[in-house]
Amino acid sequence: EVQLVESGGGLVQPGGSLRLSCAASGFTFSSYWMHWVRQAPGKGLVWVSRINSDGSSTSYADSVKGRFTISRDNAKNTLYLQMNSLRAEDTAVYYCARAPSVVDYWGQGTLVTVSS
Amino acid sequence: EIVLTQSPDFQSVTPKEKVTITCRASQSIGSSLHWYQQKPDQSPKLLIKYASQSISGVPSRFSGSGSGTDFTLTINSLEAEDAAAYYCHQSSSLPLTFGQGTRLEIK
């Protein structure tokens, strides 16, 4: 069974940093591209970032470029999102998702709240 | 950036009714359009990929059609468990984008 379990969310002050993790199991993690997608409270889905299967290629939404860094450790079956210079508008549930060609499985999400 | 516009934003429907949700892309995306269902307090679930391809385990009452810029998700014989938000999503070009969502309420 495919499982994606996010962790690392919480309350952080504006300008602060947070690192999210996503532990994957039930599939060959190193074979899949992975994504982060976020959803502000009561709002829609917004793509944040993606990384290819070996970690050599990454892409970001303009809203997070230069502040967020996606990475992965295939030996640990774990995806990461390092978030720096956080803003109030980054407040959201952050989902990691698997993408063989299209995003097919999503984790349960972890809530990040940016507030003073 | 490719903008996806869904209609309607909200629909209140009765069980067994047929529902149609549309998604229009701001430029042609071929068949790189996918549909997700998100129930309250749950993560999204893939319903249809590449405009019309079915997904294992998804009830057959869900179907998709379209290509280019105009796409449709159809739910035949709606059931109470279909109360959810539905999102279209394009994977044709970066940045990946989603429609604003359509919320279905069951009367």
Q: Does B6 touch chain A (CB under 8 A)?
A: no
Per DSSP bridges, beta strands B10-13 and B102-106 are parallel
Give A27-66 pLDDT, tens digit per residue: 999 999 999 999 999 999 999 999 999 999 999 999 999 9
Which residues, other chains included, contact B82 with Cβ-Cβ below 8 Å and sequence gap of 6+?
B19, B37, B75, B104, B106
Alpha-carbon gap: A102 to the closest alpha carbon of chain B (Å): 7
Give B40-64 pLDDT, tens digit per residue: 999 999 999 999 999 999 999 999 9
Alpha carbon A79 to its chain centroid, in Å, reads 7
Nearest CA in chain A to B53: A102
The stretch B73-96 carries a mean pLDDT of 96
- CA distances to A52, B45, B46, B61, B64 from B55, rounded to whole Å, are 23, 10, 7, 12, 11
Q: Does A50 touch chain B (CB under 8 A)?
A: yes
Alpha-carbon gap: B43 to the closest alpha carbon of chain A (Å): 6
Q: Does A111 touch chain B (CB under 8 A)?
A: no
Q: Does B50 touch chain A (CB under 8 A)?
A: yes
The stretch B27-50 carries a mean pLDDT of 97
Q: How confident is the model at residue A83 (pLDDT cuts 50, 70, 90)?
A: very high
